[in-house]
Structure 1
Amino acid sequence: MNAVWKLFLIFLKIGFLSIGGGYAIIPLIQEQVVENNGWISRKMFTDIITVSQMTPGPLAVNTSTFVGLQIGGITGALAATMGCILCGVILSLILYRFFQTHQNSVYVSEVLNGLKSASLGMIISAACTVILLALYGESRPEADYLTLNLTALMIFLTVLFALRKWKLNPVAVMLASGMAGLVFYT
């Protein structure tokens, strides 16, 4: 099977399972493109997440597009993006119709509360993945904790302190963090 078709099918599956939004599906994307298929490295995936967060648009779509671009060029980007959004569009239309007819149901309300909890868990999982990648270079919990990147930890703590203390503009903080990354990692 050619890579573009495989990209479409993988991102179609990811799109189908993307309850909770972009941060919730980052671990799914990483599992498919880094661990299962070995198309890109963990470092490249972290860079893609970083760029995806800074560009306008939904994180999941941006990440899918950039991963597809890395793997299959323009056609890969189109395939991954279409795969990622197709299920969401179809499910949204079906769910809209369903909720219009069952808007007063207690059972439907309880199911939605359960989905909110599941989404929160997936977002926490994505946050843990990003933190482990940034601080240890590994996304698995079995990472060697002796390899803590102290520079990344200090940048993180400094930025966190500055954000909390002075309520700085997030764009300015991202630019400053990028500059710090250039100084310390090049």
Structure 2
Amino acid sequence: MLLSLFMTFFKIGAFTFGGGYAMIPIIQREIVENKKLIKDEEFLDAIALAQASPGPVAVNTSIYVGYRINGFLGAIACTLGTVLPSFITILVVAIYFYRFRSLAVIDKIFAGIRPAIVALILAAVYKMWTKTKRTWAILGASLAAVIAVMFLGISPIWVVTSGAVLSVVYHRFFAAPQKEREH
């Protein structure tokens, strides 16, 4: 199982360009849909936890998934599988990139990779959106978070922290008393 987890995340890390957000739909497809190791709801929880934790989202997600499936050793296997391809790639690039950085073909390669990365990130957002309970309040909170980060320059740390605090307050003081009145 540990080798399988390592190889799954190594494959994901090796063939995903664009960082953690681009890896999310691939992790979801492999772990939830193909291997059925965890359920959609739990994967969404993993993404939320990964976002709220310091560090790269793909690494945090792999730690959660690995731990959930096979404890501490599973977390180690998934984490190593996630980071080793990037480490190896960066090492090779650092050694050889300066020799070839002025070649036009390198610019063309990166010009082709960028739109693909944007598409992968948008696909991840769409998949996560379709798996959540969509209400006007959630839509409003999502739009407020986008506006806060993109247009007002508020740090995502503050947006995530505020979302967590507001959710706790809402569920503690508004949602729970309403459920009690309904019963």
**What is the TM-score normalised by the length of structure 1?**
0.81
Number of aligned residues: 172
Contact 2:52–2:161, Cα closer than 8 Å, also in 1: no
CA contact (8 A) 1:64 1:84 kept: yes
- 1:178 is matched by which residue type in structure 2? A
2:164 match: 178
Instruction: Say whether residues 1:9 and 2:43 are aligned partners.
Output: no
**Distance (whole Å) between structure 2 residues aligned to residue 132 and residue 169 of structure 1:** 26
2:83 aligned partner: 85
Distance 1:155 1:51 in 2: 18
Equivalent-residue separation in structure 2 for 1:24 and 1:169 (angstroms): 21
Distance 1:166 1:96 in 2: 36
- Aligned counterparts, 1:25-174, within 5 A: 25-134=23-132, 136=133, 148-160=134-146, 168=154, 170-174=156-160
Higher mean displacement: 21-30 or 34-43? 34-43
Shift of 1:12: 0.6
Tell me by how many angstroms 1:157 deviates.
3.9
Between the aligned residues of both structures, percent identity stands at 31
5+ residue gaps, structure 1:
137-147
| Cα distance change of structure 1 residues 172 and 120 upon mapping to structure 2, 3 Å threshold | closer
Q: Is contact 1:155–1:180 with CA below 8 Å preserved after alignment?
A: no
Q: How far off is 1:173 after superposition?
A: 3.0
Question: Closer, same or farther in 2 for the Cα pair 1:169/1:27, shift >3 Å?
Answer: closer
Give the 3 Å change call, closer, same or farther, for CA 119–7 of structure 1 in structure 2: same
CA distance in 1, matches of 2:152, 2:101: 43
Supply the AA of the counterpart residue of 2:115.
S
Q: Which runs of 5+ in 2 are unaligned?
A: 177-183
* Helix, strand or coil at the partner of 1:56: coil
Aligned partners of 1:106 and 1:45: how far apart in 2?
Answer: 41
Quote the offset at 1:163 in angstroms: 6.0
TM-score, scaled relative to structure 2: 0.82
Q: Structure 1 residues 42, 169: closer, same or farther in 2, change over 3 A?
A: same
Contact 2:3 2:77 in 1 (8 A): yes
Match of 1:141 in 2: none
Letter in 2 for 1:79: A
Q: Letter of the aligned partner of 1:175 in structure 2?
A: T
Q: Residue 159 of structure 1: CA displacement?
A: 4.4
Rounded Cα–Cα distance in structure 2 between residues aligned with 1:29 and 1:40: 11
Task: Give the superposition deviation at 1:174.
Answer: 2.1
Q: Following TM superposition, by how much is the alpha carbon of 1:109 offset from its aligned partner in structure 2, in angstroms?
A: 1.4
Distance, in Å, in 2 between the alignment partners of 1:38 and 1:153 is: 29
Letter in 2 for 1:67: V
Deviates more, 1:26-35 or 1:95-104: 95-104
